Amino acid sequence: MSSAHPSVVYLDHAATSPIRPEAREAMLAALDIGANASAVHAKGRSARAVIETARSDVARLVGAEPSQVVFTSGGAEANTLAVEGLAASGAKTLIVSAIEHPSVSEAAKATGVLVEVWPVTAEGVVDLDWLSARLEAWDEATDRRLAVGLMLANNETGAIQPVAEVSRLVRARNGLLHIDAVQAVGKIAVDLEALGADTLTLSAHKIGGPQGSGALVFGPRAVIRRRIHGGGHEQGLRAGTENLSGVAGFGAAAKVSLAHLPQMAQLALWRDAAAQKAKAAGAVVAAEAAPRLPTILNIAVPEFPSQTQLMLLDLEGVMVSAGSACSSGKATASGVLTAMGYGDLAKGALRVSSGWSTTEADWDRFTTVWLAAYARHAARHKPLGEVA
């Protein structure tokens, strides 16, 4: 194993995408203002203008109005705000998919409302037949308000969920639907109204903005109960002095992400070329038959632990992950792949995720290093008596 590598390759954009130059510049300019956006003097008004410009840019990214955007500390807070709103709507049961991000599933459990787990298919897509049957048996008199939480695209496999169809089923029962769009936005077109979502979660650092800045976008039917109390910031829905530089960076990243959205399709071609070579070596591509984000490849091989793969790749300067960044430090099988029926194969899964700064050479470097690492592993673990 070489102790030096010719280049460093970052393919962990699904965890955090490196900050875009436009976002960095916007943040530095905001820091130079040095004033509170609630102040009425000239500098305060300048700070307020930065926030409202960013609000418009974030709203435009998802086809919403600026008045529908509440800035938060990130995706987790936005998801919590939305889920607590579902519980506050009068729901007796919260239906959440088996592949939700912990910030949704754990927030749902914390509400004290009964949580019902919605299964997914072997391709990592929610089972629409299950939902249809569940709603056929829905009794508004006893079950009360229908409330559903679903991510737009999975953060581990990239599988895009049939949100518009889910919305049609939910709205037919006068239910509320929260969509976690953290992974999807900036990679595919996202429109609040077209999706039929009542609330939508976004996070800046997934699109080249800063960490610590997110947003909840809400429609007219949404129920929102603020959880941070104090002043009347963010339309009275989220108290506290705004994170001026974080919001500025978020707005800048949203603006450039929307402008560069057509370029995302190219990433799928590079991803698929890597997938074919990995398959030829014996890997399984998760959610391969499902519509997927152009940026995520999840591969799994038997008896080659994810953590071992990560270490070997990292030694060669190739940075990927074993799944969600929220659980990457745990040597356990992916909950998403387990829900998809992968069994022990889930212990050998690897998530490779690209983004705005990724090049074809990055994908080529990953493929070369991974194939070599897997070949060495397979050779060392070849069954006794097997002929090379």
Question: Rounded distance, CA 347 to CA 221, Å?
Answer: 41
DSSP string covering 169-200, please? HHHTTT-EEEEE-TTTBTTB---HHHHT-SEE
Nearest to 334 by CA among 286, 375, 290, 378: 286
Amino acid at 89: S
Distance CA 297, CA 267 (A): 11
Query: Which residue out of 326, 360, 364, 378 is catalytically annotated?
Result: 326
Q: Buried (b) or exposed (e) across 323-361, using 16+ Cβ within 10 A?
A: bbeeeeeeeebbbbbbbbebeebbbbbbbbbbbbebeee
342 is known as an active-site residue: no
| Pairwise CA distance, residues 355 & 160, whole Å | 17
Assigned token pair, 23: 């976002």
Closest C-alpha among 100, 101, 97 to residue 119 = 97
- Please compute Rg for the chain using Cα positions: 22
In terms of C-beta density within 10 A (0-12 exposed, 13-18 middle, 19 or more buried), how is residue 234 classed? Answer: buried
CA 370 to chain centroid:
25
C-alpha to C-alpha distance for 155 and 160, rounded to whole angstroms: 10
User: Which residue from 358, 357, 206 is spatially nearest to 274, judged by alpha carbons?
Assistant: 358
Instruction: Tell whether the torsion through CA atoms of 347, 116, 287 and 263 is positive or negative.
Output: negative
Alpha-carbon distance of 266 to 274, in angstroms, equals: 13
Q: Which two tokens stand for residue 27?
A: 């943040």
Active site residues: 326
